């Protein structure tokens, strides 16, 4: 429904008296509206669900179920959004009006209804409808942009991998799960060898490109759904392998080194051939005393040893 123009509406007109329906229907059609008519509450509810009218004009007193019953049913079955329901009733007491509104009606007009009043009321409902639709749209847009902000906030812009923030969340989850299920958890700290020299020789932009390629490779190496490659910071990455034991971790590291060799990223410094990485591995079945910090510091110590032993290797 448009807010400022009198749009043609699909109106469901419910009244057990044919004469009432005829008069109103002619009125509404003369204004260009499409009218669906019925004389009882049950078929009104059916038509409401099937035809999704823009507005409902609803008599109260009808044989079998009355208009209040129909309004309640319509509100229950309304899948989304809001359809205006206006009661048109011969019951003119304040209490009747209040009961109608309570049953789900948006307005309550006393019969006989003046065509001018009816059209004014329809216009008001149109306006509310259009505002409500705008609100729903806005809420959807907000939800979508919230979700993309959320996704961005855990992503490292350079490599596209999970960033430190995302890693912290996953680490916490996986540590709890491994502790609960008494399953091994492997954490690897992977550090690019001699990367300062790379930057100093080829420049920072080239260095960024190299980090991107390594990030991509690490991401591709994590094949299981719960494996995670994250950028820890600078030229350091974390690989998290839930359910992976010590021997599994060593196999993974071997495979990683093999793919690094196949990738053969040239190291620009004199005397260096290809870019290599070193890794520190920490594997355990976590107990109550295991923390993220203890996992990381064990991996860090192992990385330090791998570097001291000459780089291009993994140590645990
Ligand atoms: P090692 O083999 O002992 O790890 O030596 P290294 O030179 O790799 O280690 P160091 O910690 O001395 O230097 C790390 C370098 O990584 C220095 C820093 O400028 C660079 N670096 C960190 N983050 C980025 C980045 O986002 N882009 C680029 N191009 N370089 C980065
Ligand atoms: Mg009636
Ligand atoms: Mg480093
Ligand atoms: Mg390094
Ligand atoms: Mg250094």
- Which residue is associated with the tokens 């991996």? 299
Q: Determine the pLDDT at residue 4.
A: 43
Using CA atoms, how far apart are residues 44 and 66, in angstroms rounded to an integer?
Answer: 11
Longest dimension (CA), the chain: 100
pLDDT one-digit tens code per residue, 168-205: 999 999 999 999 999 999 999 999 999 999 999 999 99
The radius of gyration of the chain from alpha carbons, rounded to an integer in Å, stands at 34
Per the CB < 8 A criterion, the answer to whether 142 and 156 are in contact is no
pLDDT at 80: 76
| Ranges 268-272, 278-282, 297-301: which has the least confidence | 268-272
Residue with the nearest Cα to atom 31 of ligand 1? 234
**Ligand 1 centroid distance, CA of 197 (Å):** 8
How much is the pLDDT for 5? 55
Our answer on whether the CB atom of 307 is closer than 6 Å to any ligand 1 atom is yes
In whole numbers, what is the pLDDT of the chain averaged over residues? 95
For residue 234, report the distance from its CA to the centre of ligand 1, in Å.
6
pLDDT of residue 3: 41
The ligand placed nearest to the CA atom of residue 311 is 1
Q: Is 42 a catalytic residue?
A: no
- At 78 the pLDDT is 86
| Atom 11 of ligand 1, nearest CA residue | 196
Instruction: Indicate whether residue 194 lines ligand 1 (CB < 6 A).
Output: yes
CA–centroid distance, residue 301 to ligand 4 (Å): 14
- Looking at residue 85, its pLDDT comes to 98
Ligand 1 atom nearest the C-alpha of 311 is 2
Instruction: Find all residues with CB under 8 Å of 60, minimum gap 6, and list them.
Output: 66, 67, 68, 87, 89, 90, 91, 96, 100
The residues, ordered by sequence, that sit 6+ positions from 70 with a Cβ below 8 Å of its Cβ are 14, 41, 42, 44, 45, 58
ipTM exceeding 0.90? yes
pLDDT at 6 > cutoff 90: no
Read off the pLDDT of each residue in 284-313 and give the average, rounded to a whole number: 97
Which of 76, 78, 235, 236 is an active site residue? 235
Ligand 1: which residue has its CA nearest to atom 14? 196
Please tell me the number of the ligand nearest to residue 189's CA. Answer: 3
Whole-number pLDDT of residue 32: 94
- Taking CA 149 as the corner, what is the angle to CA 143 and CA 150, rounded to the nearest 5 degrees? 85
Distance in angstroms (rounded) separating the CA atoms of residues 18 and 38: 9
Cβ 213 under 6 angstroms from ligand 1: no
User: How many CA atoms lie within 13 Å of 226's alpha carbon, on the beta-carbon side?
Assistant: 14
**pLDDT score for 272:** 86
Is the CB of 170 within 6 Å of ligand 1? no
**pLDDT of residue 50 exceeding 80:** yes
* Protein residues near ligand 3, an ion, with CB under 5 A: 191, 236
């Amino acid at each position: 429904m448009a807010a400022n123009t009198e749009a043609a509406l699909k109106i469901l007109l419910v009244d057990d008296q044919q004469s009432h329906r005829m008069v109103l229907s002619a009125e509404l059609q003369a204004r260009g509206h499409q009218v669906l008519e019925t004389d009882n509450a049950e078929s009104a509810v059916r038509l409401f669900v099937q035809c999704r009218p823009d507005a409902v004009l609803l008599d109260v007193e009808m044989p079998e179920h009355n208009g209040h019953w129909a309004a309640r049913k319509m509100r229950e079955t309304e899948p989304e959004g809001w359809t205006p329901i206006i009661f048109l009733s011969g019951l003119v007491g304040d209490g009747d009006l209040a009961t109608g509104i309570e049953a789900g009606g948006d307005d309550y007009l006393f019969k006989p209804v003046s065509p001018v009043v009816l059209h004014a009321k329809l216009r008001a409902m149109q306006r509310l409808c259009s505002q409500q639709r705008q609100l729903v749209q806005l809420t959807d847009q907000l939800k979508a942009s919230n979700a993309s902000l959320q996704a961005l906030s855990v992503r490292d812009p350079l490599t596209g991998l999970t960033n430190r923030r995302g890693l912290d969340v996953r680490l916490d989850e996986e540590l709890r799960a491994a502790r609960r299920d008494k399953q091994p958890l492997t954490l690897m700290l992977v550090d690019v060898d001699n990367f300062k020299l790379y930057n100093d020789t080829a420049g920072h932009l080239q260095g960024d490109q190299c980090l991107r390629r390594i990030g991509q490779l690490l991401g591709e190496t994590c094949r299981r759904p719960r494996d995670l490659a994250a950028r820890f910071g600078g030229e350091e990455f974390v690989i998290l392998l839930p359910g992976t034991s010590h021997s599994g971790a060593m196999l993974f590291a071997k495979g990683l080194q093999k793919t690094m060799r196949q990738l053969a990223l040239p190291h620009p410094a004199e005397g260096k051939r290809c870019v290599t990485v070193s890794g520190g591995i920490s594997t355990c079945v976590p107990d109550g005393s295991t923390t993220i910090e203890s996992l990381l510091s064990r991996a860090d110590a192992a990385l330090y040893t791998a570097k001291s032993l000459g780089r291009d290797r993994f140590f645990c």
